[in-house]
Structures are given as C-alpha cells and as structure tokens.
Amino acid sequence: MNWITRLIKIGDKIKTNFKKKMATKAEQLKSPYMSCHGQPILKKIIKENNYVCPECNEHHKLEPHQYYDDIFFGKGKYEEIKSPIPFEDVLGWKDTKKYTDRLATAKKLSGLECGILSVKGKLRDIDVVMSCQSWSFIAGSVSMPEGENVLTAVERCLTEKLPYIFIAKSSGMRMMTNNLSLSQMPRMALAINELKKAKLPFICIVTSPTTGGTSASIVPLADVIIAESKKAIYGFAGKRIVANTENKPLNDDFQTAEWAQENGQIDIILDRKDLKDKIYKLLSILLKKKSEVNLDLSNETSEPNIQTREAS
C-alpha cells in the first residue's frame, strides 16, 4: 500500500468519526444543552435569563409572544391587533419548494398568520402599540400581509393617539412576491409619516439580524433607534457583498450595532433586560408624562439628542 492510499484511508476514518460526533438537528433540539461561545450551557439557564447567555451575553432570538409575555407586558396582558391577510402566491412561485408550502411551514413554526404580530399593551401606565417580526416566519421577511399588519397597527395608533414601537428582526423583503413585496417599503414609510404628522412617538428596537428592506424603510424613520446588544447585526446588503462591491476588506465589527452607533445609525445600545425601563423613560419624556422621569433621564450622560426623522 503506497502512502497516497494510506492518506485516503486516514481521511475516510476522520470523516467517519466526525460524522458520528456531530449531533443532528433533531438531537440538538432534544438536548438540554446549547452552545453560543464554544462551551455547552443548559438551555434552562438561557431561558431563565430571557434567552441571553450569562457567560458571553449572546442575545438569542426571541419570537413576538416571548417579547410580549416576558419582556414588556406579561402573559395575557395585551390585545392582538388583527389585520387582513391578502392572497400572497400571485406569481405561483416555486423554487426548491412551492411558496404555499413554505407559508404553511412558517405558520406552523411561528404560530402566526403572517410574519409580524402587532398588539396593544401597557408599559406601566403608558398605553402603546407594538409590532414584532418573527424570524421563524421565513426569516422575518416582509410581504403584503406584513405590510398590512404594520398599516393596521399605525392606524390604531392614530385613532387612539398612542405611541408606536417596532421590534425589527428581518432578512428583508420576501423574494417570492417580488415587486409586491418591495412596495411595502414605501407603504410602511408613508404610514410612519402619518405618525409624525400626528406628533406621536415612534421607537424602533433593532435585534439581530435586521437587514435588507426593513433596515432601509421603517427602521431609520424612528425617533429613537435602540439596538439590542452591541453585537446585533444591522445593515442593508450582506457583509460579503459590501466587501466585493468596495473591493477592500472590512472591519471585523462592520454592521454590528456598535459600529452602526459610531456611524450615527443607532442611538442607544441596551441589553434585553433594560429595554422596558429605558423605553418607558423615553416615552415619558416624549409624551411629557412625568417631570421626575424627565429630570432623571436628562441627568444621564449617555442619552441621544432625540430628533424626528421623516421619510423623504
């Protein structure tokens, strides 16, 4: 046996052993452990900490109900704002799967009728309308039903004179509906401008990742943009595409929330546990609710200069 044959056999053994040691997706779901920093950690510990790793501060993705139940309102203490669900598969789209099959899977995974869940709830003594994107619903992509959901939520704000909070987590517009998906960008922007005209506050929370048409439409229009953790990814095109376009290497922190804040795209970076308190303080100032809150926040040195952003 020559040395080439021996090397091939050694390589086959390594591959076999590697395959045996790698857990399948089903095994990973059943396992009581997970890893976000190279070491196993109990899922129970992550869950009890609002899905934030206490060791490396990795903010794992949350679905809309988890934000509403555990972070902002409490279970059952909010009202869902329902919106029309237009017929989506107008192009009869099919790639490796039919679009209708992808929709059915997304609805089953997320428990939602579309990729955004909007609700009305109370942050302490302030009534708010909040929308949150679901990553389980085709990677938080936006199409006609999601656009309708945002418009319905904003309409509720205008009717009841309430502030609007949008939790972004998205891969962008949904390719399966083509231009009909892209048209949601100006529709959402126009809706937000109606909030501006009515002088109602709009706060956006950027979670990881927030990219594509979502980051290029509704998010930049917020009066205050808050990023959930320093490492949250916020950008338009992917890092590799930008690097190829610019024809030069990019910084390791490119498109992180920390990088975006340094370049004026993010106002505040917070850990998940601090979101509710900080947003309550901001709304108290913007709505002129409590003088003691105004004084408290004005004494904090890290606050942004809040200015209204309006779509052009």
120-140 pLDDT, tens digit each: 999 999 999 999 999 999 999
For the ranges 78-82, 86-90, 195-199, the lowest mean pLDDT is seen at 86-90
Q: Which of 133, 134, 129 is nearest to 119 (CA)?
A: 129
Domains, the chain, ordered by start: 62-298 (3.90.226.10)
pTM of whole model > 0.85? no
186-242 pLDDT, tens digit each: 999 999 999 999 999 999 999 999 999 999 999 999 999 999 988 899 988 877 888
User: HEC states along the chain?
Assistant: CCHHHHHHHHHHHHHHHHHHHCCCHHHHHHCCEEECCCCEEEHHHHHHCCCECCCCCCECCCCHHHHHHHHHCCCCCEEECCCCCCCCCCCCCECCCEHHHHHHHHHHHHCCCCCEEEEEEEECCEEEEEEEECCCCCCCCECHHHHHHHHHHHHHHHHHCCCEEEEEEECCECHHHHHHHHCHHHHHHHHHHHHHHCCCCEEEEEEEEECHHHHCCCHHHCCEEEEECCCCEECCCCHHHHHHHHCCCCCCCCCEHHHHHHCCCCCEEECHHHHHHHHHHHHHHHCCCCHHHHHHHHCCCCCCCCCCCCCC
Residue 117 above 80 pLDDT? Answer: yes
**Which residue do the tokens 């892209």 mark?**
182
Query: Which one has a higher pLDDT value, 7 or 101?
Result: 101
Q: What pLDDT score does 308 carry?
A: 47
Residue 185 above 80 pLDDT? Answer: yes
Q: Confidence band (pLDDT; 50, 70, 90) for 249?
A: confident
Q: Confidence band (pLDDT; 50, 70, 90) for 312?
A: very low
Q: What pLDDT score does 54 carry?
A: 84
- Mean pLDDT estimate for the chain: 86
Q: What is the mean pLDDT of residues 27-54?
A: 80
Q: What is the mean pLDDT of residues 95-118?
A: 95
Q: What pLDDT score does 305 carry?
A: 47
Question: Which tokens go with 231?
Answer: 């490492």
Q: What is the mean pLDDT of residues 267-277?
A: 95
Residue 302 above 50 pLDDT? Answer: no
Q: What pLDDT score does 3 carry?
A: 64
Beta-carbon contacts of residue 240 (< 8 Å; ≥ 6 apart): none
Q: Confidence band (pLDDT; 50, 70, 90) for 150?
A: very high
Beta-carbon contacts of residue 76 (< 8 Å; ≥ 6 apart): none
261, 253 contact by CB (below 8 A): no
Q: Confidence band (pLDDT; 50, 70, 90) for 306?
A: very low
